[in-house]
Amino acid sequence: MPLVFAHRGSSYDLPEHTLAAYLRALDEGADGLECDVRLTRDGHLVCVHDRRLDRTSNGHGLVSARTLAELETLDFGSWHPGGVAAEGDEPLDESHTRLLTLERLLNAVLAAGRPVRLLVETKHPTRYGRDVERRLVALLRRYGLTEPRPDDPVRVTVMSFSPLAVRRIRDLAPSLPTVLLLEVLPRWLRLGRLPFGTRIAGPGIALIRARPQLVPALRAAGNQVYVWTVNEPEDLELVLAAGVDGVITDRPARTLARLGR
Ligand code: G3P
Ligand code: CA
């Protein structure tokens, strides 16, 4: 039975990367949460997917050009139908609209009182030199999360499309599991040996639709396979038939229901 990860929280129903979207995913029974992190101008790790603010907030311009205090004044929820109260309803609380820092997400996950896997994806690692990875590892170390044991309730895995970022994480925290994300299959990739000791491959669903045999090939070579972003029922059937270890989805409730959980 694959693990079910909520991609940016329950982000079909609620605004992505908000605390409300993550708490909903935990309520729905997701095994884990996926989140993208970027650095603010003053070096804080915040959960935002895009390089720019424009799509998911009422701000404009680059996330990296703003301080945390500046970002805290923005509304990250009202762009999405789930971030706005229905007519006649009580106003939604700030968990639907406030910027989420990685530290606040960690605190929420640690307070959940049940096992949670957290997949943290670093974005654009070359833009900040080693800073994203260094600050991420420092934060995780402060929370005692860099040397996960199987019975730890909260376990963090770091993901990136960039082999360079994966390598930096492996250098800084060799015990932290990593996922190499794959949009396409690079020529240099050897299925039997992912780079820098990574043991989890993260192919996109488009790649698996084109080459479903990749899943058993990666698994036969001793890797786990987490596929993103699996939202359509036919895609879910495809990855279940292929035997994946993890499904990353915007719709964890629907995915869990299909799995009879
Ligand atoms: O879970 C991996 C997936 O999130 C990668 O793509 O663009 O949604 O960050 P993206
Ligand atoms: Ca992501």
pLDDT by residue (tens digit) across 16-50? 999 999 999 999 999 999 999 999 999 999 999 99
Number of domains comprising the chain: 1
60 belongs to the catalytic site:
no
Under the banding of pLDDT at 50, 70 and 90, the label for residue 216 is very high
Asked if the structure places residue 95 within a domain, the reply is: no
Asked if the structure places residue 250 within a domain, the reply is: yes
CATH of the domain at 45: 3.20.20.190
Asked if the structure places residue 125 within a domain, the reply is: yes
70-88 CB burial, b ≥16 within 10 A, e <16: ebeebbbbebbebbbeeee
- Please tell me whether residue 179 adopts helix, strand or coil conformation: strand
Under the banding of pLDDT at 50, 70 and 90, the label for residue 189 is confident
Alpha helices for 176-223 (secondary structure H): 205-210, 214-220
Query: What digits encode the pLDDT tens for the residues 149-169?
Result: 999 999 999 999 999 999 999
Q: Whose CA is nearest to atom 1 of ligand 1?
A: 228
Distance of CA 35 from the midpoint of ligand 2 (Å): 6
Of all ligands present, the nearest one to the C-alpha of 204 is 1
Q: What is the mean pLDDT of the chain?
A: 95
Query: What is residue 96's predicted lDDT score, i.e. its pLDDT?
Result: 98
pTM: 0.97
Query: What is residue 127's predicted lDDT score, i.e. its pLDDT?
Result: 63
Residues with CB under 6 A from ligand 1: 7, 34, 36, 49, 121, 181, 202, 228-229, 248
Distance of CA 123 from the midpoint of ligand 1 (Å): 10
| Nearest ligand 1 atom to alpha carbon 34 | 1
- Ligand 2 is an ion; its neighbours by CB within 5 Å are 36, 121
List residues bridging with 200 in a β-sheet: 179, 224
Query: What digits encode the pLDDT tens for the residues 113-125?
Result: 999 999 999 976 6
Asked if the structure places residue 166 within a domain, the reply is: yes
Asked if the structure places residue 138 within a domain, the reply is: yes
- Domain residues for the domain of 127 are 3-51+102-258
Query: What digits encode the pLDDT tens for the residues 191-207?
Result: 888 999 999 999 999 99
96 belongs to the catalytic site:
no
| Nearest ligand 1 atom to alpha carbon 49 | 9
Q: Strand pairing of 154-160 and 116-122?
A: parallel
Q: What percent of the chain has pLDDT over 70?
A: 97
